[in-house]
Structure 1
Amino acid sequence: MRIPLGARAHAGTAALLAVLTVAACLLLSGIPRTTQASFDEALRRALVAAPAVETDLTVVGEVALREGELRERAQFEAADRRWRGFLPAALRPLIRPGGHMSAKTVSTPVTGSRGTTFVNLGWLSDADRRVDWTAGRRPGAPSTTSVAGTTVPVIEVGVAEEATRAMGLRVGQTRALGDSTHTVVRIVGVYRAVDPGDRAWSHDHDILHVSHVVSPLGPEEFHTTTLMSDEGLAGLRSSGRNLTYRWILPLDERAVSAQDVPDVGAAVAEFKRWPEFERTGTTSYRVITGLPPLLGDFQGALSAARTVMYLTLGGLLAVALGVIALGVRLLTDRMEHTLAVARARGGSLRQVAAAGAALTAVAVGPAALAGYALAFLLPGPVSPVVHAGPALVVVVAVAYAVTRVVRAHRTPLPERRDDLVAARPSARRVTAEALAVVLALAGVYLLRARGLSGDAGQDPFLLLIPVLLTVAAALITMRCYPYPLRLLVRLTRGGRAAVPFLGLTRAARARSTGALPVLILLPALSVSVFAATIAEGIAATQRAASWQKVGAPIKLTSDVDIPADAIARVRDAPGVDQVALALTGRAQITATGERPLAIAVELEQWRQVVGDAPVDLPALSGSASALLSPALGERGTFEIMWLAPAKLTTQGLIDSLPGFDPGGQFLLMPREALPWPAANTLLIKGDVAPADLARLVPSATVETQEQALAAIRADPLTGTVRTTLLVVTVALGLYALVAIALSLVVGAPERARTVSLLRTLGLSDRQAVRLTLLESLPLTVITALAGLALGLGLPAALGPGVDMSSYAGGLPVGDFSPSPLTPVALTAGLVLCALACAHAHQAAVRRRDLGAVLRVGDRA
C-alpha cells in the first residue's frame, strides 16, 4: 500500500486525528510546565516574604579561649571561604556570593548603670554600604587609656539615631563597659540605615534599634549595639564578655526550585552537622537557619497541589488517549476495504499491519511534534513529564492501529457479524473485571482506614485508587447498561411503533463498539466533575476562612480605646449600616492570677453585622455568662479583674472566635458585663471605603473580608490549583463531546445502511432521527450519570489524601457539595451534542441513493 496515496484518500480523517493529537500533546506538555513554574514562583515568594534571618545560613562562632579570637578582616574572609567549602553540592548553587560577617558582644553593661543600660560592641563587614553617618564621623583605630591603674583599650564607635533618642547617647561621650574587665568606648558618630527595608537587617536588628526589656523581677533595661571600624577588631577581646562571630551565607531565592525542596532540606541538615567535627577547643561553631521549617510548610502545600495535578492530569491523559484511539479506529475503519483487498491479493499480515502503522504515524507523528513544540511557548521548566506525554501519545496511537489491523485481517476476507447477537464475554474476562472492581473498593477502604504513607503525602497508593475506581465504574457501566434497555425492549415489543423497538434493540446489544466510548466518557465526566467539585469546595472554604479571619465585612481595630465621638462619626458615616462594639484586653482571674485575653462583644449587634455570612457566632445567655477556651477549662463561677472586678459564670468552651484569633487562654463575655463603656474594636457592616474609616479613627487599622479573601486567593499555589482544575474541567468536557461525536461517526456506515434500508420501507426523516437518538443516547445518558456519580464521590473517597487547607486560609476543605450548574451543564452539553450528531447523521443519510443501497446491501 502506498502511504502518500492512502494519506490523500483519508485526508479528512487524518486531519481530525492530527488536530486531536496536537491538542493532547499541548495539554500534556504545557500544563506540567506552567504548574511547575507557578510552584517555583510560589516558593520564591514564600522565601522572599520570610525574614532573611530565617532563610539564610548563619554560621555562629562562640569564642571560648583567647586563642580563638579573630582580630583582622582577613581572618573573617578566610573563615568565610572555609565555610562555603563545606557546603553540600545541592546547596552551593543556591548560596549567593557576598553576604556579610559580624562580630558582636552580648549583654555588655555600662559600668555603674546597675544593670539598666547595655552597650554592646559590634562590627559589620559591609557597614560602609549599609549605613549613612548623619553626625560626627566614622570610627577609627582604637587607642588605650588607664582605668584604676590598668591600661584598657578605647574603641571608637558609632551609635544608631534611635539610641540617641531612647538612651541619651551623644557624640563625644565616653562610656566604660563591663563590671570587672573594662573596655572604654568613645562615641564619635551617629548613623542610620541606607535602606531600612533591606532584608539583611533582620540579622542585625540590634544595630539599628534599641531593645527595651521590662522584667517583673527587676528594673527595665535598654540594650543597643554600636558599630566599630575594621581597626577596632584589634581591641575587641572575649574575656569578661560574650563574644560571638557570625558569617551570613545568603540564600539566592531566585535559584531555588520547587523540585529542589527535598534535596535542599537534606543538604541543610548535612551542613548543620559539620560543626560537630570542627571543635577546636578555642571556638565552638554551630549553624543557625529557619530554612527547614519554611521548606517543610511549603512542601506540605506543594504536596496537595501535586496530588490534585497528578489526579487531574492522569484523567486527562487517559481521556485524551481514548479519544485519539477513537480517531485511530475511525482511520483504520476507513482503510479496512483497501487493506482487505491487499490481504486477499497475497499481502502478508506484517505488510498490512505496517501499512496501517505507517499511515497512523504520518497523521500522529508530526502533530505530536507540533503540540510538543507549542508547549515550549508556555513558561516553565522542562520536566520528564513534558517529554513523556507526546511520546506516549504516539506510541499508543500506533500500537492501537497495529492491534486493530492485525485483529481485523488475521485471515483474508473474514466474515464477521457483530450486529446480530449480543457478545458473550468469556469466564476469564468476567473474572478479571470482577477482580478489578473488588480491588478498587478494597483500595478505597484501605486508603480511608490506614491514611497516607510516604514523604509529604505523595503516596503512590493515593494516585492508583482513582484509576482503579474509574476502571471499575466503567466496567460496571459497560456490563450493566444493556439490561435496563432490554427491559424497555420487551415493553416496546408489542407496540405499534417500530422505531422505539428497533432503536432500543440496537442500543441494548452489548457490542464491542460501545466499550471504548464508555471508557472515554466515564473518566472524562468523573474527573471533570471531581475537578469542579474540588474547585468549588476550595472557593467556598476560602470565603469562610476570610470571614473567620475578619469576623465582619469590615473590622476596625485600635491599640487604645476609641473615643465615643469617633464611634459616633463611624456610625454616621455614609454607607455604614450596622456597628457592633467590642473590647479586648488582658484580664486577671482573681483566684489563680492567670491573665487570659478577655473579649467583650455586643453579640446581638454582631449577628446583625454578619447576617447570613458563612461564620458561626457563639451564643451567651445572660449578661454575666462567659465562654472559655479549652486552655482555661471549666471554671464554674469565677471573678476577674479588668480595670474593675466582674463576676462571671462559665457557660461552655469554645476553640476559636471569628475575627479575633485569640489562641491560648481567652474568654468571651457580653459587653453588657463591663462596668464601663469602652471599645477598641468596631465590627462594621456597610459599603464604605476603608480609607474613609481610617481617617475617622486615625489610631486604628482597618481590615475587610474582601481584602482577606483576595489575599488568600493571591497565593501562587492557590491560583495554580484553581487554574489547573478549570483548564482540566473545560478540556475534559470538550473531550467528552468529541468522544460522542466520534463514537457516532465510527458506527455511521452501519447505521446509515440500516436507516437507508428502512427508508425503502417507508421510514420518514423524523423517524430516522429518533432511531439514531434511541440507539446512541441511552449509552451516553447512562455513562454520564455514572460519571457524575463517580465524580461527586471521588472527593469523599479520597478525603484523607487530598488536604486542600493550604489553599483555603488554613481551614479544612470538607464541603464538597457542588452547585447544580456543573452537572446540569455537562449533561445538557452531552444531550445537545447527541442531538446535533443525530441530525447531522440523518442529513448525510438523506443524500444517499436508495437504489444503490438496494443493489449493494446484502443484509437487512
Structure 2
Amino acid sequence: MTRRAGKGAAMTLRLIRRETRGDLPLLVCLAVLVLVLAALCAWAPALAGRQEDRALRQRVEAAQAQTPLVTMSTTPAVFNGPRVDIGRLLGAGRTLTARLGAPAAAHLTPEGDAGYDYSQAALTLPHPPDHTVTGTRLALSYLPSARDHLRYVSGRAPADSTPEGGVPQVALSQATAAALGVGAGSRLSVDFAATPDVQDTPPHVTLLVSGIYRPTGGAGGYWTGRESLDRPTRAPAERTAGTVLSVRGLVGRDTADVLSGAGVRGPLVTWQLRADLRGAALDEARALSGPLAGLGATLNADLCQGQGTDFVTGDVICSVAGQATGSVLVVDSLTPLLASFTAQDHQARALAAFAVDALAAVVLATVVVAVRLLLLRRRAHLRLQRARGASTARLVLVRCAVAWTVVPVAALAGWAVGRGLAPGGTSGAPRPLPAAVAAAVVAATVPLMTWLAVREPRRPGRPRPARRRTAALRRAVLEVTVLLAAAAGVVALRSQGPDAILGAVPVLVALAVVVVLLRCYPPALRLLLRRTRRGRGTVGFVGAARAAHDAPATGLALFVLVLTLGTAVFGGLVQRTIGDGLPGGAAWAAGADASATASGHVTPAGSTAGIRAAVEQLHTVSLVRQADGALTTRAAVITVDPGRLVAVAPRSPLARVLLAELGPTPAGRPDAHAPLPSFLSPGLRAGEHAGGFTTSLGAEGQPTVDLTFAPVGTLTAADLRDPLLGPVTARIPAGTPLLVTTATADRLMPPQSTDSTVLLLRGDSPATATPAALRSAATRALGPLARIRVRAEELSALQDDGLTRGLGTLYTTASALAALSGLLALALELALAAHERGRTTAFLRTLGLGGGEAGALHLLQLLPLAVASAVGGTVLGLLEPRLTARTLDLRQFTGGPAQPALRTDYGLLVALVAGVTALVLAAAATETVLARRRRLGAALRLS
C-alpha cells in the first residue's frame, strides 16, 4: 500500500514537472504580472510621498518668505521683579521651543534673533515742519533681521550696547526723517504712557538719531506688514483740526533695558519660529501640528505655575528665562496651512486613485486571460485525465501546484525590487497589504478558473433551449447589475466626493461601456453580414461572420482595451486641462505681465520707457444705500483708469467693459458733488434698486468728504474672475461687497490706513517684458517695500509644483504600464482564438483562397474589435470627466479662481486610436505570415 502511494506521488510529481515545462511561457507571464504589482505597491507610495513632501516644502517656504508661520510673544513685567535683562529674555526662544518635545522641536527653530516692539509714544520734540500736524506718535522696534534689508544713507545703525548714562539710539527711514525734519545726530524727546496706580507723570526719554536708512529691493515679502518702518502715516486728529503723524524707528538691543530703568512698561517680545521640514516633510508637519496646537497652553501651564499676579494689570505672572513676564501667546499659521494642503493632497490622491485602480483592473484582467489560455492549452489533457477517473480536486491541485509556487516567489521578488528602487526618507511608505492582496487574487484565479473548466455539469440532461434561456437570463442579470453598480458609483462620487473606495468607479463605468458595446456591435456585425451575404465576394462574408461569432468571446479583451484607452484619455484630459489652466492662474496672481502691491495710498513715481502701467487703488469704506438708508459697513471700492487698463490689458473683457461704461477719466479738478459711475458686485447690486450709494470719509484737517456712487452695471462672474482684479481681490476678504469706479473718486477720497495700491505693468517688447525689467520698473514706481509678482515667475512656480508634477508622473507611468499590460492581454486573447481563425483560413485555402485574400480575411476578423475598442475607450475617456466634474477640483493645480474648463488632448486621442489600429494590423499581418508558411498538408490537417 505504501509502495503504491509512493508510486502515485512520483507520477504526480512527474506530471507536474511535465506540465510546468509546457506551461512555462504563461507561468512566466503570471510571474511578471505579480512581480510588477508587488513592485508598484512598494515603489509607488514612496515616490508619491516624495512628491507630496516636495509640494508641502514649496508651500511652507513660500509662506515663510512672506511672514513667520509660528510666533511666540510675551511682555516683561517691569514692576514685578528685578530690572529687565532683555538679552537674556531674547535668547529664551530655543528654550521655549524645546517644550514641544524632541521630535517636534527639531523641526521648529527660532529664526535669527528675537525682536521687540513698544507701543506708540508721544514725540514732543522736535516739531514736524508740516504745520498741519498737531501730534506725532513714535513706535520703537528692535528688529535684527532688518539689517540685511536696508542700507544706511547717513550715520550708522543704532548701537546694541548703550554706555552707562548714555542716550539710547534710534534709526529712521528717509521718509520718516523728512517728515520729522531731523537727520543723523538729532535728538528726539519722547513721553511714554504712564502706568496707572504706579506713575503720576509719563516717563520721559531722550533718543539720539544714529542714522538714516533706506530699504533695499529684492527682499521678497520681508516688508509685508512692516511698511511703517519706511513710510509714516497720517490720520485726522480726533478733536481738533489737523492730522496725527505716526512714525516708527529701529533701536538697539539693550534699549529695552534703558527704558525699563526709566520706568517704561515692557515691550512686546516676539520670537519668530521657522518650520524646517526636510525629508519626510508631510509626516514631520503632522507630527509637529499636534504638539504645536497645545504649545500655548503648555507654556503657560509650565511657566506661570505659582508665580502670582501682576499688581498693576492683574494678569498672571510667568517666568521666562528668570524674567517676570506676562502669559505667552502663540500664533500658529502652520496648522491651517497643513490643513489646506491636506485638502489639496486629498484631491490629488483621488485623481491618482483613478489611474491606480484602472491599472490594477487591467493587470488582473490580463491574469485572467493568461489563465484562460493556460487552461485552453491543457484542455485535451484535462479531459483525458477526467475520463481516466481523476477527481475535480486533484485536477485543481495539479494546476495550482506550480502557480502557487511561482506567485509567492514573484511577489517577494517584486517587493524586493520595489523596495530597492523606492526613494528613502519620504512620507510615503511601502504598502505590503495591497501587494499581498494582489498576489492572493492572482493565486486564487488559477484554482477558480480551473474548477470552472473541469467541474461536472449540474444538469447534463437539460434540453439545449432551456440551457440557452438560462444563459441569456444570467447574462441579462449580470449586465443589469453592472449598469446599476456603475450608476450608483457615479451618483455616490458626485454626491460625497472622491475617496479610496470610489476611486474604482471608473472601472465600473468601463465595465458598463463594455456591456453596452457587447450588446451593440454584434448586431451591427450581423447587419453587415446580411449585406455581404448578397455580394459575390467570399472574404467579406466570412470575415464578418467570424467577427460576429467571436464577438461575445472577446469581451475581456474589449474591457482591457477600453479601460486602457479610457484611462489614458482621462489622464491626458486632466494634464491638458491643468496645463492650459496654469497660464490663467499665473495671470490671476500677477494681474498683467507683472504687478506691484503696496500698503497705503501710494502715488507711483515716474515711468519706464517701453512699459505701460495702470494703477488700482483699493479703499475700504462704509456705503449707505440712498433708497432706504441701509448700511453696508465694509465694502471694497476699487478706483481705476479704464483707458490705462485697456493699454495694459488690451484683450481683457473687463477693461473694455469698464472703458465703454465708465468712460475715460476726465482731466482737471473733479466735481465732488457729481455722481461717480460705478460697477457693483452681484451681492451689492441685489440690494440696490434705485439711487445708488453714498459714503462719507474724513479728510486730513478738512471737512468730511461726501461721495455718491451711481451704478451703471453689474460685475458678472466672468468679470470677477478677470486677471486684472487678481492682485486686488487677494487683499479683500471673501464675500466682501465690491464696487469699481473711476480714478476720479481716487482724487476725491482722502487716504485711509486700510488703503492698498496695485500697479499693473505690461512690457511693449520682449526686452521690456523680462522679469528683471519688470521688477526694476515696479521697484522704481512703488519702492522696495512693494510686493512684486511677475507672471512668468508665477507660471514657472505653478509648473514646478510637487503635486502637479507628481500627478503627471503618476498618470504617465500608470498609462504606460496599463498599455503594456493591455497589449499583453490582447496578444493572449488573440492567441486564444488564433486556432479557430487558423482553421477557417486553412479550410478556405484548400478551396483556393489566395495569400492576399487570407491577409484581408485576418484583418476583417480583427478590425471590429479594434473599432469597438477605440470607440469605447474614447467614450470612456471623455465621459468620465463629465460624470465626475463636480468632484474634480483642479483649481489647486492651476492657481486660478475658477475651475478650468475641461480640455481633451485630441492629439493623444488620435495617437492612441492609431496605436490600437496599428496593433490590429500587426496581428493580422503576423497571422497572415504564419498562414503563408503553413504547407498544404498542415493546412489540410488543421482544417
Give TM-score, length-normalised by structure 2.
0.72
Aligned match of 2:481:
435
User: What's the secondary structure of 2:539's corresponding residue?
Assistant: helix
Deviations 1:564-621 (A, max 9, x none): xx78x53xxxxxxxx97755457999998999332223489659953xx999953654
Indicate yes or no: 2:439 matched with 1:394: yes
Aligned match of 2:344:
301
Match of 1:598 among 625, 639, 645: 639
Distance 1:172 1:756 in 2: 110
User: What's the secondary structure of 2:247's corresponding residue?
Assistant: strand
Indicate yes or no: 2:136 matched with 1:116: yes
Counterpart contact for 1:364–1:397, Cα < 8 Å: yes
Unaligned 5+ runs, structure 1: 144-153, 453-457, 571-578
1:618 maps to amino acid: V
Distance of aligned partners of 1:11 and 1:303 in 2 relative to their CA distance in 1, 3 Å threshold = same
Match of 2:74 among 54, 61, 66: 61
User: What's the secondary structure of 1:214's corresponding residue?
Assistant: strand
Deviations 1:151-203 (A, max 9, x none): xxx58755457599837576796966525353757769879999999999889
Distance of aligned partners of 1:592 and 1:155 in 2 relative to their CA distance in 1, 3 Å threshold = farther
Aligned match of 1:809:
895
Deviates more, 1:168-177 or 1:317-326: 168-177
Tell me by how many angstroms 1:484 deviates.
2.6
Tell me by how many angstroms 1:349 deviates.
4.6
Match of 1:219 among 244, 253, 274: 244
Tell me by how many angstroms 1:334 deviates.
3.7
* Number of positions where the alignment pairs a residue of Structure 1 with one of Structure 2: 816
Tell me by how many angstroms 1:74 deviates.
10
Superposed counterparts of 1:92-103, under 5 Å = 92-96=105-109, 101=114
Tell me by how many angstroms 1:472 deviates.
2.6
Deviates more, 1:598-607 or 1:632-641: 632-641
Aligned match of 2:657:
618
Counterpart contact for 1:155–1:228, Cα < 8 Å: no
Match of 2:292 among 245, 263, 268: 268
Distance 1:34 1:788 in 2: 30
Tell me by how many angstroms 1:776 deviates.
2.9
Distance 1:195 1:705 in 2: 22
Aligned match of 1:87:
100
2:679 maps to amino acid: L
Distance of aligned partners of 1:785 and 1:239 in 2 relative to their CA distance in 1, 3 Å threshold = farther
Tell me by how many angstroms 1:653 deviates.
1.9
1:545 maps to amino acid: G
Indicate yes or no: 2:556 matched with 1:516: yes
1:519 maps to amino acid: F
Distance 2:603 2:63 in 1: 29
User: What's the secondary structure of 1:50's corresponding residue?
Assistant: helix
Deviations 1:633-680 (A, max 9, x none): 468799999xx9999974312243433534364536599x999xxx98
1:315 maps to amino acid: A
Distance of aligned partners of 1:75 and 1:57 in 2 relative to their CA distance in 1, 3 Å threshold = same
2:235 maps to amino acid: S
User: What's the secondary structure of 1:618's corresponding residue?
Assistant: helix
Indicate yes or no: 2:769 matched with 1:724: no
Match of 2:268 among 214, 239, 244: 244
Aligned match of 2:868:
782
1:439 maps to amino acid: A
Superposed counterparts of 1:731-810, under 5 Å = 731-810=817-896
Distance 1:638 1:98 in 2: 48
Distance 2:620 2:514 in 1: 65
Tell me by how many angstroms 1:252 deviates.
1.8
Counterpart contact for 2:646–2:655, Cα < 8 Å: no
Distance 1:554 1:204 in 2: 21
Give TM-score, length-normalised by structure 1.
0.78
Distance of aligned partners of 1:177 and 1:516 in 2 relative to their CA distance in 1, 3 Å threshold = same
Aligned match of 1:285:
328
Aligned match of 2:421:
377
Aligned match of 2:312:
none
Distance 2:219 2:760 in 1: 33
Indicate yes or no: 2:562 matched with 1:541: no
Deviations 1:404-437 (A, max 9, x none): 233333469xx9xxx9998963645533441331
1:292 maps to amino acid: T
Deviates more, 1:753-762 or 1:40-49: 753-762
Tell me by how many angstroms 1:624 deviates.
4.1
Aligned match of 1:485:
525
Distance 2:172 2:649 in 1: 49
Counterpart contact for 2:490–2:883, Cα < 8 Å: yes
Counterpart contact for 1:538–1:813, Cα < 8 Å: no
Distance 1:111 1:820 in 2: 73
Distance of aligned partners of 1:186 and 1:65 in 2 relative to their CA distance in 1, 3 Å threshold = closer
Deviates more, 1:581-590 or 1:27-36: 581-590
Tell me by how many angstroms 1:804 deviates.
0.3
Distance of aligned partners of 1:424 and 1:758 in 2 relative to their CA distance in 1, 3 Å threshold = farther
Superposed counterparts of 1:649-688, under 5 Å = 650-654=711-715, 655-656=719-720, 657-661=722-726, 662-663=728-729, 665-667=738-740, 683=762, 686-688=765-767
Counterpart contact for 1:123–1:233, Cα < 8 Å: no
Tell me by how many angstroms 1:830 deviates.
0.9
Unaligned 5+ runs, structure 2: 1-12, 127-133, 194-200, 238-242, 309-315, 318-325, 626-634, 665-676, 697-704, 733-737, 749-757, 783-787
Tell me by how many angstroms 1:44 deviates.
0.8
User: What's the secondary structure of 1:598's corresponding residue?
Assistant: strand
Deviations 1:763-804 (A, max 9, x none): 333333333333333233223312211221111211121100
Counterpart contact for 1:106–1:243, Cα < 8 Å: yes
Superposed counterparts of 1:527-538, under 5 Å = 527-538=567-578
Superposed counterparts of 1:333-352, under 5 Å = 333-337=376-380, 349-350=392-393, 352=395
Counterpart contact for 1:61–1:246, Cα < 8 Å: yes
Distance of aligned partners of 1:158 and 1:369 in 2 relative to their CA distance in 1, 3 Å threshold = farther
Counterpart contact for 1:211–1:224, Cα < 8 Å: no
Distance 1:503 1:118 in 2: 94
Distance of aligned partners of 1:699 and 1:56 in 2 relative to their CA distance in 1, 3 Å threshold = closer
Deviations 1:61-117 (A, max 9, x none): 345684477845897599767744653787445334897555554334556679625
Match of 1:818 among 904, 909, 921: 904
1:216 maps to amino acid: P
Indicate yes or no: 2:366 matched with 1:323: yes
1:771 maps to amino acid: L
Distance 2:880 2:207 in 1: 72
Deviations 1:425-473 (A, max 9, x none): 364553344133123224434544x454xxxxx6456435334323333
Tell me by how many angstroms 1:8 deviates.
4.4
Q: Percent of counterpart pairs with the same letter?
A: 24
Distance 2:75 2:169 in 1: 24
